[in-house]
Amino acid sequence: MDQRVDNVFIEGDNLDVLATIQPGSVDLIYTDPPYNTGNDFAYADSFRTDRGGPAGRHAAWVDMMRPRLVAMREVLSARGAIYVSIDDNEAAYLRLLLDEVFGEANFRAQVVVNLNPKGRQLGGGFATSHEYVMVYARDAKQCVLDASSHDTVDAADFGQSTEDGRAFRHLPLRNTNKKFNPVTAPTLHFPVYGDPVTGQVASTAFEGAVEVLPVFGDGRPAVWRWSRPRIDQRPDDLVCREIAGRTGTRVDVFQRDWLHREGGRRKKLPTIWLSEEIGSTDTAVAELKALVGHVFESPKPTGLVRRILGTMPADAVVLDPFAGSGTTGHAVVIANTGDGGTRTCLSINSAEPTRPGSNAANAGLATVADITRARLAAVSELHGGGLELR
């Protein structure tokens, strides 16, 4: 059996390369396309020749991206998702374009990413400190994206513990969302029996128990989050307590929500990702410099991509069609090393020339594809995982 190679790199125009990938074979796409800052970008397709002015530049960028996004959608599996980095220059256009290609119903999030905490100090106006990541499913009903993470769990939130040292917190067993009530969820409105002295809870009456009905803080009828069978299955995860409510002292039922649980605790990801959590442009430059030198101006930090990888299964097939400095492939190797995953990554980059006199050119890296290749080779040398060039 052939040994798995974590990273595969193909040099070429991504539109041509995407056409060679088996439809539905990719689980996750993360990509950082060229941002339209008013300068020509490398993908100088023929339809750009008659474009002019700001409106023309936006139209040219959309024309460049549309067929590539369509091709990306074709290679995504039904369970898959796509994450696209973008800044304010094209964020509005990209959002509309992704709605067009993937469908509004498959929109998952527009994440604000704080990659420059000090803000850009050059030029006028505000010191911009953020970019965006647009997230879409291939098919929202089948997508396996889990928008949560182990890393965002704060142990300080679980301030209580059992005699054997297991940390937990109390959560109301009643559903606190007022959309759920005896009218909208009648099967979840029923009496539960609890003893506030011993803490025991059951779905049927027992000696010393009092009847407890779910109510909101103002006394209006509510519903439980658990059904009767689930209460019977997990009595040790429930506790009856006497509390001081807005209408006076009352007895209520709470869930013991454990810090450590089977499968590992995860917490929903917010839609603002801070640099201290995922890294910054400065840390990304340092990561790249340690491998091949300071040869790329604005790489993405591996922490950003590792957070994205963490929302998908550990065996995901990953694709980066605008691979740039090779951050995605680097992050895949780190993620696999950390959790024993079997992710594989296909990176694509064009032979866009590096700027004459730049650090990359002076280092003998004539194209951006040379930078990608050099980084992925260095990652393989340092961490393993291998590199296949096609």
User: Which residues have a Cβ under 8 Å from the Cβ of 57 and sit 6 or more positions away?
Assistant: 36, 38, 51
Predicted local confidence at residue 1, as pLDDT: 32
Residue with tokens 């998952």: 108
pLDDT digits (tens, 9 = 90+) for 271-295: 999 999 999 999 999 999 999 999 9
Decide: 235 and 118 in contact? Cβ < 8 Å. no
Per-residue DSSP letters for 212-273?
Answer: E--B-TTS-B--BSS-HHHHHH-GGGEEEEEEEETTEEEEEEEEEEESS-TT---EEPPSEE
Please determine, for residue 68, whether its predicted confidence score (pLDDT) is greater than 50.
yes
Average pLDDT over residues 64-90: 96
CA distance 301 to 307: 10
Quote the percentage of the chain above a pLDDT of 90. 80
pLDDT digits (tens, 9 = 90+) for 330-381: 999 999 999 999 999 999 999 999 999 999 999 999 999 999 999 999 999 9
Return the structure tokens found at 164: 């054997």
Strands 317-320 and 344-349: parallel
Residue 37: CB atoms within 10 Å: 10
User: Which residues have a Cβ under 8 Å from the Cβ of 36 and sit 6 or more positions away?
Assistant: 57, 58, 60, 61, 89, 90
Instruction: Please tell me which residue, 83 or 45, carries the higher pLDDT value.
Output: 83
DSSP letter assigned to residue 202: E
Decide: 57 and 50 in contact? Cβ < 8 Å. no
Predicted local confidence at residue 292, as pLDDT: 95
Q: Where are the domains of the chain?
A: 7-151+266-389, 165-258
Please determine, for residue 313, whether its predicted confidence score (pLDDT) is greater than 70.
yes
Decide: 279 and 301 in contact? Cβ < 8 Å. yes
User: Which residues have a Cβ under 8 Å from the Cβ of 92 and sit 6 or more positions away?
Assistant: none
Quote the percentage of the chain above a pLDDT of 70. 94
CA distance 313 to 144: 8
pLDDT digits (tens, 9 = 90+) for 124-154: 889 999 999 999 999 999 999 999 988 888 8
CA distance 99 to 35: 19
Predicted local confidence at residue 262, as pLDDT: 66
Average pLDDT over residues 242-254: 88
The separation between the first and the last C-alpha atoms of the chain, rounded to the nearest angstrom, is 20
CA distance 68 to 58: 16
User: Which residues have a Cβ under 8 Å from the Cβ of 297 and sit 6 or more positions away?
Assistant: none
Average pLDDT over residues 16-20: 97
Q: Which fold has domain 7-151+266-389?
A: Rossmann fold (3.40.50)
Decide: 84 and 31 in contact? Cβ < 8 Å. yes
Put the strands of the sheet holding 107-113 in their side by side order.
Answer: 272-273, 107-113, 131-137, 76-86, 26-31, 317-320, 344-349, 7-11, 387-389
Decide: 87 and 132 in contact? Cβ < 8 Å. yes
Predicted local confidence at residue 36, as pLDDT: 53
CA distance 148 to 230: 24
